[in-house]
Structure 1
Amino acid sequence: MKNRFAILVAGGNGSRMGLNAPKQFLPVGGLPILMHTIRRFRSYSPNLEIIVVLPAAQLPVWEELCQQYQFGELITLIPGGQTRFQSVRNGLQFIQAEDGLVAVHDGVRPFVTTAIIRNSFETAERTGSAVTCVPLKDSARLVHPDGRSQAVDRTSYRLVQTPQTFQLPLFRRAFQVEEQPFFTDCASVVEYAGFPVTLIDGSYDNIKITTPEDLEIAEQKIRSAR
């Protein structure tokens, strides 16, 4: 099996939560969100090398939380950059292996399943990439700059999630490009660098916790699972 790595990017500041606390540190089901996410990846493999990228100012806070919650999962902490692109690149630069697979995941997506993670790695090993996504449920419209809108075929669109997993040599080459303002995820970087992107099925349960409503849904999910 190739070397496998996971870069968990957690750079939120909680602004959309209406809070001063970083959203990745907010407790859900008695444990900070980021800790739930780490455990999901650890449950996939005890040998997976997990790299957590946090803003430099939050590293001491994380250490305190680990002591408070007696959280002892083996991870590597890396300070992030000013943007997601820079944070992922920081995590990537830590990896010394020349070959392998690397998954990038949002630190505030704590409900990713082991099956999705496994499929992500296996697909990337075969095709070079694996980008998790789900179909649109609702009707969609394209809004033009002049305010006009038109109906579009929702079956032609996907909502992109994480993990997004890639072969390591391909991923390194992709992140040598100059950062662009439209880089919203790793798939956009890889595509811009000229590499094809393979889509895989995600889950509507694989939510990204960014708003108070998301936090309430997460609490309900954890309660119902007990």
Structure 2
Amino acid sequence: MKKFAVIVAGGAGTRMKSSTPKQFLLLHGKPLLWYTIQAFLQAYDDLQIILVLPATYIDTDVIQSLLNERITTIAGGKTRFHSVQNGLKLVPENSLVFVHDGVRCLVSPNLIQRCGEQAAMLGSAIPAVTAIDSLRIEMEGKHKVIDRQTVRLIQTPQTFRSELIVPAFKQPFNAHFTDEATVVEAYGKEVCLIEGEYENIKVTRPADLWFAEKIISERLAL
């Protein structure tokens, strides 16, 4: 089965409060996106990457420096849904598809492989971790505690066999689509969770960038 990673890196990163999109910020002299790409290249020798980018960045020097024969670029869309939809246009039939946030640069090759193995068997693998903070839910102006052991924090790479995800993304866009799992569920298919990794954070705010740099420093020292 062919393997394709649709790495979504089309966001502007406004919460980072930087003029440079967060996926291109430097960590140890390399763009954050470089670490994401390397994890997938290391996970499988036969995996192809579809890099979904802002159209204005595709031909820039920073992107050209990241490319090799296993990476294809395509412009993103107006929402994450449309960006993934664009990337899936390049995925052939009978493929294993990993959809990953470009700014989750701490993802490990091991997690990618575990997702691939489960999705090949069960059709999907959605990495998730148990909430570690106390949680409350607000309803009708009031709030109450909910059991954190029943809550799962969803990550990527959300991984599917192509016969599930490709037709699901031919549905019309819905504002309730928050990730690939919700799109596939709206298509009438169940999805399967898999244990994620607490280090696999989505770099969104300056504190996340500090954490990512610390973890990468530790990994480089090994």
TM range (shorter): over 0.9
Q: Aligned partners of 1:29 and 1:159: how far apart in 2? A: 28
Matched, 1:93 2:89: yes
Q: Aligned partners of 1:124 and 1:72: how far apart in 2? A: 27
Q: Aligned partners of 1:105 and 1:222: how far apart in 2? A: 19
Matched to 1:131, the amino acid is: I
The match for 2:199 is 205
Deviation at 1:66, TM superposition (A): 4.5
Matched to 1:105, the amino acid is: H
Matched to 2:56, the amino acid is: A
Where do 1:111-130 residues align within 5 Å? Answer: 111-130=106-125
Q: Aligned partners of 1:59 and 1:151: how far apart in 2? A: 46
The match for 1:157 is 151
Q: Aligned partners of 2:186 and 2:108: how far apart in 1? A: 29
Q: Which runs of 5+ in 2 are unaligned?
A: none
> Which deviations, in whole Å up to 9, do the C-alpha atoms of 1:116-141 show, x marking residues without a partner?
10110111111111001100001111
Q: What TM-score results when the alignment is normalised by the length of structure 2?
A: 0.95
> Which deviations, in whole Å up to 9, do the C-alpha atoms of 1:84-117 show, x marking residues without a partner?
000001000112x211210000000111111110
Deviation at 1:186, TM superposition (A): 0.2
What is the DSSP-based 3-state SS (H/G/I as helix, E as strand, rest coil) of the residue aligned with 2:157?
Answer: strand
Deviation at 1:60, TM superposition (A): 2.2
Q: How many residue pairs are counted as aligned between the two chains? A: 219
Matched, 1:83 2:82: no
Q: Aligned partners of 2:152 and 2:124: how far apart in 1? A: 16
1:137 alignment partner, one of 132, 136, 146: 132
Matched to 1:175, the amino acid is: F
Q: What TM-score results when the alignment is normalised by the length of structure 1?
A: 0.93
8 Å Cα contact 2:136-2:146 kept in structure 1: yes
The match for 2:62 is 65
Q: Aligned partners of 2:166 and 2:218: how far apart in 1? A: 41
8 Å Cα contact 2:123-2:161 kept in structure 1: yes
The match for 2:212 is 218
The match for 2:160 is 166
8 Å Cα contact 2:25-2:32 kept in structure 1: yes
Deviation at 1:181, TM superposition (A): 0.3
What is the DSSP-based 3-state SS (H/G/I as helix, E as strand, rest coil) of the residue aligned with 1:94?
Answer: coil
The match for 2:32 is 33
The match for 1:47 is 46
Deviation at 1:72, TM superposition (A): 4.6
Q: Aligned partners of 2:86 and 2:63: how far apart in 1? A: 22
Q: Which runs of 5+ in 1 are unaligned?
A: none
What RMSD in Å do the two structures reach over aligned CA positions?
1.2
Identity rate, percent? 45
Matched to 2:134, the amino acid is: S
